[in-house]
């Protein structure tokens, strides 16, 4: 495995009761890139991200992160390796403040345990908490969340809540961040802001980004590489302009969708709301 490849899948397959949501997909994500994953609804995009993050266990195939086989690792071990993610449907703690939601993202970086933490003033627990709060404040400044830092997350407009979820994923200090439709449900101005944040966290924070996105304008503007799925199969991969000009890709997007084959975790937000 090349040193410039941060993530690789080999023959990745995920089956749901006889339906192949992901069908022997080979994927390589280059370190320092923005890698877009696109395809019609039900193509298996979220299923791939769920396998990478550990939410799903692959039926077949292997996953490698920075050269390490992580196929069998449990989901809690992956953030410690440097893998963070956001979700298609918001997964915030709605009763908690923005600040506390982001602090949750620091949990795997905490060094003090229950015993040392109980001796708050005598050990490094206080210094550690202050350092984590400093990091969180940097993220709040970066994502322009200062005005809502003490607000209850569940009371915020949808676009701001998406930004808070990105902040929490950034708080993990990941080397690879998985973004599942980060701009879904946003208006034009909110999408422009989110696209800028994604580019900046890639360029300024040095994070590799793997992003599921339906807005082809965004994909063309900010992605370095694109992979296209259709019914679980990889049908194209490469430079964004070349991929979107591929006749197989055009056919996949213009063809009729079969709702029966849509993976429950890969439905559009409107379908999730109606369910």
Q: What is the pLDDT of residues 190-221, one digit of tens each?
A: 999 999 999 999 999 999 999 999 998 999 99
The answer on pLDDT for 189 being more than 50 is yes
At 69 the pLDDT is 97
CATH class of the 1-82+174-275 domain in this structure:
alpha beta
Kindly report, residue by residue over 226-259, the tens digit of the pLDDT. 999 999 999 999 999 999 889 888 888 766 444 3
- Distance in angstroms (rounded) separating the CA atoms of residues 72 and 192: 38
At 131 the pLDDT is 77
The two tokens of residue 193 are 């802001």
142: nearest Cα among 119, 110, 117, 173: 173
Kindly report, residue by residue over 86-99, the tens digit of the pLDDT. 887 667 888 899 99
The answer on pLDDT for 275 being more than 60 is no
Q: Where are the domains of the chain?
A: 1-82+174-275, 94-172
Strands 60-65 and 225-230: what pairing? unpaired
Residue 109's pLDDT band (cuts 50, 70, 90): low
């Amino acid at each position: 495995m090349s040193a410039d490849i941060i993530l690789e899948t080999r023959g990745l397959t995920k089956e749901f009761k006889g339906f192949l949501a992901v069908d022997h997909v080979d994927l390589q994500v280059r370190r320092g890139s923005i890698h877009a994953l696109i395809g019609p609804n039900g193509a298996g995009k979220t299923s791939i991200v769920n396998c990478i993050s550990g939410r799903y266990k692959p039926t077949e195939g292997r996953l490698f992160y920075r050269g390490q086989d992580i196929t069998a690792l449990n989901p809690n071990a992956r953030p410690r390796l440097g893998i963070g993610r956001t979700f298609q449907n918001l997964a915030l703690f709605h009763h908690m403040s923005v600040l506390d939601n982001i602090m949750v993202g620091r949990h795997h970086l905490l060094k003090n345990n229950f015993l040392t933490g109980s001796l708050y003033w005598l050990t490094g627990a206080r210094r550690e908490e202050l350092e984590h709060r400093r990091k969180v404040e940097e993220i709040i400044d970066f994502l322009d969340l200062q005005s809502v830092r003490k607000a209850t997350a569940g009371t915020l407009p949808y676009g701001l809540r998406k930004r808070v979820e990105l902040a929490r994923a950034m708080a993990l200090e990941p080397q690879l961040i998985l973004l599942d439709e980060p701009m879904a449900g946003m208006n034009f101005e909110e999408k422009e802001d989110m696209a800028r944040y994604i580019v900046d966290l890639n360029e300024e924070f040095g994070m590799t980004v793997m992003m599921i996105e339906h807005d082809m304008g965004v994909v063309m503007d900010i992605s370095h590489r694109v992979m296209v799925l259709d019914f679980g199969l990889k049908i194209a991969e490469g430079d964004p302009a070349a991929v979107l000009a591929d006749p197989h890709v055009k056919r996949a997007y213009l063809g009729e969708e079969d709702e029966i084959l849509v993976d429950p975790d890969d439905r559009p937000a409107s379908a999730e709301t109606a369910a």
